[in-house]
Chains A and B, each alone.
Chain A
Amino acid sequence: MLRRLLVGCAAFGAAMGLAACVSVAVGSSGVSLRQVASVMLGWVPGVRASLGPVPPEVRAILLEYRLPRVALAGVVGLSLSVSGAALQGLLGNPLADPYVVGVSAGAAVGAALAIMAGLQSALGGLGVPAAALVGAVVAMATVMAISRTGGRLPARTFLLAGVVVGSFFWSLVTLLLAVSGRSMQEVMFWLLGSLSGADTARLWMSAPPAVLAVLGLWTLSRDLNLISVGEEPAHHLGVRVETVKNVVVLLASLATASAVAVSGVIGFVGLIVPHMVRMILGPDHRVLIPCAALCGAAFLILADTAARTMLGATELPVGVLTALLGGPFFLYLLRSKGIR
């Protein structure tokens, strides 16, 4: 186990670091590698002097936009992937993804309302993400309240409640779209999911829940292992099954909610990355949770780098890239290793 953990974390951690370096280095043709090096390594004595001056707008782009965007891609990828891994294990359902709790639909309702109300500049530019976060938390709380019966949270009831609350909120989004008039396009573009709006404020909004989720879920990974064998045996082995379930759902949903709030609905990462890591390293959550987190971060950083550089100044929807990059690799793993 320990060897797997170390090897997995080292490999995926290196992948994430490499992806981040590449992502920070590439972008608009108007920013040269020399400028990137000068700004990023400016703290090393002598580097700034030897690489020459950098115009203020290039410095602003690198420090206030590109760097936060790479970090945000990492945080969102990490949140979605780690939440997906935990929920798949907890619910014993390979189709579970971070959005099963209806958070994406709830966030969409919040975002649509904020966009229609013209709150784009409210709260220092965080009006829409804040509203999306509120919507996501409302959806999550609804699902948890509905599915809790007699102090318990039965997995099947929980899944169904999530699906139905999700559909309900998606219908609300459709309803809002039908009456939104001029805001319609803006809501649609938000729904597509993008990291284009990255800034440090969004990073601060989504990073704490992500860190909390990784640490919390990792702490609970032994319990998750036992629960995925069966709730009954887990209970007899001393796991406080219901408490663990509630905490896992809460942590995963909060991380997902803040990820969706800052980036819109980005598909595929939370469903596929956990499966990929599970196929490579096995189903032990003590290994899976940290490795899925690192792999998800690396994966979304890469996908977003491709999304913002492939067509020059025109960006592609990052959800397209996650599916195009991840799909074939996942199918290859599925054929060669089978699902675990």
Chain B
Amino acid sequence: MALAAVVAFPLTMASPARSAPIRVRDARGKLFVASAPPKRIVSVAPANTEILFALGLGPRVVGVTDYCDYPPQARKLPKVGGVQLNYERILSLRPDMILATVNLQAGAIARMDALHLPVFAIDPHTVAETIGAIQLVGRATGTEQAAHAVARRMRATLAGIRRPPPGKRLRVLNIIQLQPLIVAGPGTFMDDCIRLAGGVNVAADAKAPYPTFSVEEAVLRKPQVILTAKRNLAALRSSPVWRTVPAVANGHIYSPDPDLLERPGPRVVDGVALLAGILRRAAAAPKAHVAGARGALLAPRKPA
């Protein structure tokens, strides 16, 4: 048995191998074996659905989650549940591959393993790992060429982002929730995106990925840009404490489309580019947005 036939790093693999047998280790190190590229794929995460469609595998996707809303044609596919997966429905779809994500659904993956379902798991925690995961999916589905093209495009987008020199980067705070204050800390996808976009995450030293963060510290670190959902805007502006923060005083509170920045899929680089644009404009016009005016809230943008 030639177990070593598959190498873990994508760059060494370039053969098209359209209908050759598949032997690929997934992110858990589990060997995924198939006599031919999968034809009935179930995606159990929105980002995974986006990856499959980006690889041109849309016609082979037979099931998605309730939250899979991109690309639009994914919405019409049979649903296999949301937070709680419906294993019976997954079984009834007779999939020959289930594309799962380790850090979100370890329990569900164990359950599907026990049901002898052909799980292929990816585990991206950064933008770079997302590109690697897309290439891994390409090898497991016989679409290496398409995966390379997607990876190239993503790297080109990232390379095109101009970052200010280290001393001039803006301090950014991503508020997930205001009461209690939960922010994106180290090791989160958002943390990586902020860095790639040329900002500094002021909560990068927190003790957990999504910590309950000290309001005092958050205010004293004087974030110049705050990223948060629109529903928190009024509460931030009316708080006598938050009003002393430069981002609030200068109107630099933005709500970029979370689907672009939180889904480890092909569009994440568009999210990073969008964020880089926000930071560039905020740096260029530190007080351009008069406090009390309608503000600089950016409408969610959905690039094609």
Identify the A interface with B (CB < 8 A).
Answer: 27-28, 30-31, 56-58, 60-61, 64-66, 118-121, 124-125, 128, 177-179, 181-182, 184-186, 189-190, 194, 196-197, 199, 264, 308, 311-317
In contact, B245 and A315 (Cβ under 8 angstroms): no
B220 contact from A31, A197, A199, A312, Cβ within 8 A? A31
- The closest CB in chain A to the CB of B262 belongs to A182
In contact, B235 and A61 (Cβ under 8 angstroms): no
A313 contact from B67, B214, B232, B258, Cβ within 8 A? B214
In contact, A315 and B213 (Cβ under 8 angstroms): yes
Which 3 pairs across A and B sit closest by C-beta, in order of nearness? A197-B179, A196-B180, A121-B234
Residues of B near A190 (CB, < 8 A) are 179-180
Chain B 200-216 near chain A by CB (<8 Å), digits 1 or 0: 00010111101111111
Report how many residues on chain B are interfacial, defined by Cβ distance under 8 Å. 45
B217 contact from A30, A56, A121, A184, Cβ within 8 A? A30
Q: Considering the chains assembled together, what is the distance between the CA atoms of A197 and B208 in angstroms?
A: 19
Q: Considering the chains assembled together, what is the distance between the CA atoms of A314 and B208 in angstroms?
A: 8
In contact, A64 and B241 (Cβ under 8 angstroms): yes
Given A64-B240, A313-B205, A317-B212, A121-B233 contact (CB < 8 Å): yes
The dominant DSSP class at the B interface is loop
Q: Considering the chains assembled together, what is the distance between the CA atoms of A125 and B218 in angstroms?
A: 19
Q: How far is the CB of A35 from chain B (nearest CB, A)?
A: 11
In contact, B177 and A189 (Cβ under 8 angstroms): yes
Most A C-beta atoms less than 10 A away, residue of B176, B178, B214: B214
Residues of B near A312 (CB, < 8 A) are 205, 207, 214, 217
In contact, A197 and B217 (Cβ under 8 angstroms): no
4 more A-B contacts (CB under 8 A) besides A31-B220, A179-B82, A311-B207?
A61-B244, A181-B82, A189-B177, A314-B213
Given A64-B240, A64-B241, A125-B234, A313-B217 contact (CB < 8 Å): yes
Most B C-beta atoms less than 10 A away, residue of A61, A199, A314: A314
- The closest CB in chain A to the CB of B237 belongs to A121
Q: How far is the CB of A54 from chain B (nearest CB, A)?
A: 12
In contact, A189 and B83 (Cβ under 8 angstroms): no
Residues of A near B15 (CB, < 8 A) are none
Given A181-B82, A194-B180, A313-B203, A57-B245 contact (CB < 8 Å): yes
Interface residues of B in 219-250 (CB under 8 A from A): 219-222, 229, 231-235, 238-241, 243-245
Identify the B interface with A (CB < 8 A).
Answer: 66-67, 82-84, 176-182, 185, 203, 205-208, 210-222, 229, 231-235, 238-241, 243-245, 258
A178 contact from B84, B182, B213, Cβ within 8 A? B84
Q: Considering the chains assembled together, what is the distance between the CA atoms of A283 and B178 in angstroms?
A: 42
Q: How far is the CB of A128 from chain B (nearest CB, A)?
A: 7
Residues of A near B215 (CB, < 8 A) are 61, 65, 196
In contact, B216 and A315 (Cβ under 8 angstroms): no
In contact, A186 and B177 (Cβ under 8 angstroms): yes
A61 contact from B84, B216, B231, Cβ within 8 A? B216
In contact, A184 and B83 (Cβ under 8 angstroms): yes
- 27 A-B contact pairs sorted by A residue (CB < 8 Å): A27-B216, A30-B220, A30-B221, A31-B216, A31-B220, A57-B220, A57-B222, A60-B244, A64-B239, A66-B216, A119-B231, A120-B232, A124-B235, A124-B238, A184-B83, A185-B177, A185-B182, A185-B210, A189-B212, A190-B179, A196-B179, A197-B179, A312-B205, A314-B213, A315-B211, A315-B213, A315-B214
- The closest CB in chain B to the CB of A66 belongs to B216
Q: Considering the chains assembled together, what is the distance between the CA atoms of A56 and B240 in angstroms?
A: 11
Most B C-beta atoms less than 10 A away, residue of A184, A185, A313, A315: A313
In contact, A315 and B180 (Cβ under 8 angstroms): yes
Residues of B near A181 (CB, < 8 A) are 66-67, 82-83
- The closest CB in chain A to the CB of B211 belongs to A314
Q: How far is the CB of B123 from chain A (nearest CB, A)?
A: 20
Q: Considering the chains assembled together, what is the distance between the CA atoms of A178 and B85 in angstroms?
A: 11
Residues of B near A28 (CB, < 8 A) are 214, 216-217, 220
Residues of B near A182 (CB, < 8 A) are 258
Residues of A near B212 (CB, < 8 A) are 189, 194, 196, 314-317
Residues of A near B234 (CB, < 8 A) are 121, 125
In contact, A196 and B181 (Cβ under 8 angstroms): yes
Q: How far is the CB of B295 from chain A (nearest CB, A)?
A: 13
In contact, B206 and A313 (Cβ under 8 angstroms): yes
Q: How far is the CB of A155 from chain B (nearest CB, A)?
A: 36
